[in-house]
Structure 1
Amino acid sequence: MKHLSKKEQLLSAFSASTKAGGGVLTLAEIAFYLNAENNIALRKLLTDCVKKGIVRRLAAGIYESTLTPPDPLTAIYKIANKIRGGVLNYISLESQLSYTGVISQIVMGRVTIMTKGRKGTFETPYGVLEFTHTSRPVDKIASNIYLDPEIMMYRASNEQAISDLRATKRNLHMLEN
Structure 2
Amino acid sequence: MKRRELVEKLNAADRSGVWAFTPCSFGSLFGKDDPRYIKLMMKRLADQGVLTRAARGTYVNPSARSLPSDLRRGLIRFLRPREISYVSLETKLSEAGAISQVATALTCMTTGSSGTFETPWGIVEFTHTGRGIDLGADVYRGDDGTLEATIRCAARDLRRVGRNVDLIDEDTLADAIAEEQSHESQGVHA
TM tier, shorter chain? 0.7 to 0.9
Confirm or deny that 1:93 pairs with 2:86.
no
Deviation, structure 1 residue 54: 1.6
Q: 1:173 aligns with which of 158, 166, 177?
A: 166
Q: Between 130-139 and 20-29, report the one with greater CA deviation.
A: 20-29
* Aligned residue identity for 2:141: L
1:146 aligns with 2:140: yes
Aligned pairs (5 A) from 1:99-118: 99-108=95-104, 110-118=105-113
Confirm or deny: 8 A CA contact 1:24 1:75 kept in the other structure.
Answer: no
Distance 2:71 2:18 in 1: 8
Shift of 1:28: 0.7
- 1:17-32 alignment to 2 at 5 Å? 17-32=13-28
CA distance in 1, matches of 2:29, 2:101: 42
More helix per residue: 1 or 2?
2
Q: CA deviation at 1:7?
A: 4.3
How many residue pairs were aligned? 170
Structure 2 match to 1:161: 154
Q: Distance in 1 between matches of 2:2 and 2:82?
A: 28
Say if 1:14 and 1:24, in contact at 8 Å, map to a contact too: no
Contact 1:14/1:64, CA 8 A, preserved across alignment? no
What code does the residue aligned with 1:42 have?
A: I
- Contact 1:25 / 1:63 at 8 angstroms: preserved in 2? yes
**Could you tell me how far 1:70 is from its partner in structure 2?**
5.4
TM-score of the pair, normalised by structure 2: 0.80
- Residues 116 and 142 of structure 1: CA distance in aligned 2, closer, same or farther (over 3 Å): farther
1:62 corresponds to which letter in structure 2? T
Question: When you count strand as a share of all residues, which structure comes out higher?
Answer: 1
- 3-state SS of paired residue (1:138): coil
Residue 123 of structure 1 corresponds to 118
CA distance in 2, matches of 1:8, 1:45: 15
1:42 aligns with 2:38: yes
Q: Counterparts in 2 of 1:65-84, with a 5 A limit?
A: 65-68=61-64, 71=67, 73-84=69-80
Alignment-derived partner of residue 179 in structure 2:
none
The Cα shift of 1:156 comes to: 0.7
Of all paired residues, the percent bearing the same amino acid is: 28
Structure 2: 5+ residue stretches without partners: 171-190
Distance 1:22 1:93, change over 3 A: same
Q: CA deviation at 1:14?
A: 3.0
Whether the 8 Å CA contact 1:18–1:68 is kept in 2: the answer is yes
Question: Is the partner of 1:173 in helix, strand or coil?
Answer: helix
- Change in 2 beyond 3 A, CA 1:19/1:102: farther
